Amino acid sequence: MENIIKETNYKFDGQKSVYHGKVRDVYNIEDKYLLMLATDRISAFDVVLPEGIPYKGQVLNQIAAMSLDAVEDILPNWKIATPDPMATFGLKCEPFKVEMVIRGYLAGHAWRLYESGVRGMCGVGLPDGMKENQKLPHPIITPTTKAIQGHDMDISKQEIINLDIMYSTDYEKLENYTYKLFERGSQIADEKGLILVDTKYEFGKHDDQIYLIDEIHTPDSSRYFYKQGYEECLANNASPKQLSKEFVRQWLMNNGFEGRPWQTVPTMTPEFINSVTERYIELYENITGEKFVKRDTDNLNAKVENNIRKFLKVYLQR
């Protein structure tokens, strides 16, 4: 499809390297900055799916940029500018090697573990008798390792410290920031008629200062329920309407794919791809309260590259 970006291989002034992640292509500029481009790739079960999703990169990047601005009073973040609707430019930080996942409800991966009989995650105990999608007694942090390839793995606070992945003083700061960010994200979602179910935050250091990095509160990093109808669905053991990638995971599972090496990704029909685009746009409009404006996608790759080049030419010559 010509209206999507599945991969990039730009050569920018000052570029030192490029890293192609599951969804983002990250350009190292002068070893001082990162240019992070949100492609239209989509991943689930830590597998990049074969088809791209139109406007997904624009949705992710614009939500993340606005969400970073909404929490900048809690701690500094890496963002400096958004030179294109699909790209963010900011400080290059040394990332911590864990992702801080925080959960307010028993859903997704947490529920699948609970349903299998597990009554604790990452050293945090859970009570018996809970239902899928039920609100937890209090938000819990369930960190994961950051895998360059393959699956992220659950890990406890004590394991992180014992394995010297992070100093205990740094972990406690990240823990505190994670609770504050989740509280802010939950407040913003509540004002828009949504429930922030769970999410993840990533942090790094720059000049010995902790920064919030990567994306936050997007449908790739977060799960949302609609408030309206949530209690009724819970009472009837029905799934609340949600805005997240979980519906993609569910579609894959229903079609026999859970990310196992021997499994084949089911064919993504145009109808299914369009439905994913619509879900992403729906979340954008709900979480931001603004109408999503589709960019002109003719010659999309060239437009993105040109916007970034023009920005870098000015910024790097300051």
- Condensed to tens digits (0 to 9), the pLDDT of residues 4-58 reads 999 999 999 999 999 999 899 999 999 999 999 999 999 988 899 999 999 999 9
Whole-number Å distance between alpha carbons of 212 and 226: 27
Q: What is the pLDDT of residue 122?
A: 78
Whole-number Å distance between alpha carbons of 58 and 311: 18
159 membership: H or E segment, kind and range: helix 157-162
250's CB contacts (< 8 A; 6+ apart) are: none
Over pLDDT 70: what percentage of the chain?
A: 98
Whole-number Å distance between alpha carbons of 238 and 223: 17
Tokens representing 185 are 């994200």
Task: Give domain status of residue 104, yes or no.
Answer: yes
Q: What is the pLDDT of residue 2?
A: 64
Task: Give domain status of residue 60, yes or no.
Answer: no
User: What angle, 0 to 180 degrees and rounded to 10, lies between the N-to-C axes of helices 56-69 and 270-288?
Assistant: 20
Q: What is the pLDDT of residue 200?
A: 96
Task: Give domain status of residue 294, yes or no.
Answer: no
Asked if the model's pLDDT at residue 150 lies above 80, the reply is no
**Residues 157-174: what's their mean pLDDT?**
94
163 membership: H or E segment, kind and range: none
**Residues 261-289: what's their mean pLDDT?**
92
Q: What is the pLDDT of residue 1?
A: 46
In total, how many domains does the chain have? Answer: 1
Q: Are strands 24-29 and 87-91 parallel, antiparallel or unpaired?
A: unpaired
Task: Give domain status of residue 102, yes or no.
Answer: yes
119-141 pLDDT per residue, tens = 888 788 899 999 999 999 999 99
DSSP tag of 26: E
When mean pLDDT is compared across 7-11, 58-62, 246-250, the lowest value belongs to: 246-250
Task: Give domain status of residue 105, yes or no.
Answer: yes
Whole-number Å distance between alpha carbons of 301 and 303: 6
Q: What is the pLDDT of residue 152?
A: 73
Whole-number Å distance between alpha carbons of 86 and 40: 9
**Domain with 217 in it: what CATH number?**
3.30.470.20
**Residues 158-180: what's their mean pLDDT?**
95
Asked if the model's pLDDT at residue 151 lies above 60, the reply is no
Over pLDDT 90: what percentage of the chain?
A: 82
Q: What is the pLDDT of residue 233?
A: 96
Whole-number Å distance between alpha carbons of 245 and 250: 9
Is 38 within 8 Å of 65 (Cβ atoms)? no
Instruction: Give just the sign of the alpha carbon dihedral 20, 22, 23, 24.
Output: negative
Task: Give domain status of residue 224, yes or no.
Answer: yes
Whole-number Å distance between alpha carbons of 263 and 117: 25
Query: What are the backbone dihedrals phi and psi of residue 200, each rounded to the nearest 5 degrees, phi first?
Result: -135, 150
103-113 pLDDT per residue, tens = 999 998 899 99
Asked if the model's pLDDT at residue 243 lies above 90, the reply is no
Task: Give domain status of residue 255, yes or no.
Answer: no
**Residues 252-276: what's their mean pLDDT?**
93
Tokens representing 188 are 């913003």
**Residues 273-292: what's their mean pLDDT?**
92
DSSP tag of 282: H
Tokens representing 227 are 């408030």
**Residues 182-205: what's their mean pLDDT?**
96
66-100 pLDDT per residue, tens = 999 999 999 999 999 999 999 999 999 999 999 99
Q: Is the pTM of this model over 0.85?
A: yes
What count of Cα atoms within 13 Å lies in the side-chain half-sphere of residue 137?
Answer: 7
Tokens representing 183 are 């509280």
List the domain range (segments joined by +) for residue 200.
96-243
Task: Give domain status of residue 108, yes or no.
Answer: yes
